[in-house]
Amino acid sequence: MLTKFKHAIFLIFALIFSANVFAENDPYKEMQVSADKLFSTMNAQSAALKSNPNKLKEIVRKDLLPYVQVKYAGALILGNYYKSATEAQRKAYFTAFENYLVQAFAQALSMYNGQTYQVESPKDLTGKNLISIRVLLNQPNKNQQPLRIDFQWRKNSVTGEWKAYDLIAEGVSMITTKQNEWSTILRQDGIDALTKQLNELSNHNIDPNAKPKG
């Protein structure tokens, strides 16, 4: 159950903290407010979501996906394969990647059941372009240590905007994980094969009882 919770939170925070919603663009404030809003909504709609888990896809696409750096994250994961892809291949891949994110994060959200959390207190951002923000996830069993996840934020040198681009949970990077997971199919069959695989994965129904892979 603990592993299932960790996988769920890993994916949930990968989504919500890629947002850039507030005018002052303070990453610490965005993280706190985004977390509060998300989990409040989940608690308020728990009955409806329990009866129809697939409604989570609608919530993700409407309320969360517009704030996700889909292309930036997707390009980082592709690495050198992004440079060699044609414009048509990139367009198809990013569409599939977006749909995959809707499925993946909706599935992750289905596993949330009211756990509490604590976001790291704000620190001075003067002169910084890269920061890591810690989030502690409190366990139902008080004898267990909170889980620690560090979110990697980068300040755009042109716009000055802070946005999250990666997270590290128990020493594991989300970007690195997907790079490793998809490297074989990219190397052997190319970006078109990965695009097809992502489209197939995005069509899966949301199952709160599903066991996370990995």
pLDDT digits (tens, 9 = 90+) for 43-64: 888 888 889 999 888 877 877 6
Torsional class of 3: left (φ above 0), alpha (ψ -120 to 50), beta (otherwise): alpha
The three-state secondary structure class of 17 is coil
Q: Is the pLDDT of residue 84 over 90?
A: yes
The sheet with strand 117-119 has its strands ordered as: 117-119, 130-137, 147-155, 162-169, 172-173
Q: Is the pLDDT of residue 6 over 50?
A: yes
Q: Give the global pTM.
A: 0.73
pLDDT band at residue 31 using 50, 70 and 90 as cut-offs: confident
Q: Is the pLDDT of residue 86 over 50?
A: yes
Q: Is the pLDDT of residue 87 over 90?
A: yes
Domains of the chain in sequence order: 2-202 (3.10.450.710)
Length of the chain: 214
The three-state secondary structure class of 213 is coil
Nearest to 42 by CA among 137, 138, 116, 110: 110
Total Cβ atoms within 10 A of residue 156: 12
Q: Are 111 and 8 in contact (CB under 8 A)?
A: yes
pLDDT band at residue 104 using 50, 70 and 90 as cut-offs: confident
Q: Is the pLDDT of residue 23 over 50?
A: no
Residue 184 confidence (pLDDT): 96
pLDDT in tens, 107-140: 877 777 777 888 899 999 999 998 998 888 787 7
Torsional class of 128: left (φ above 0), alpha (ψ -120 to 50), beta (otherwise): beta
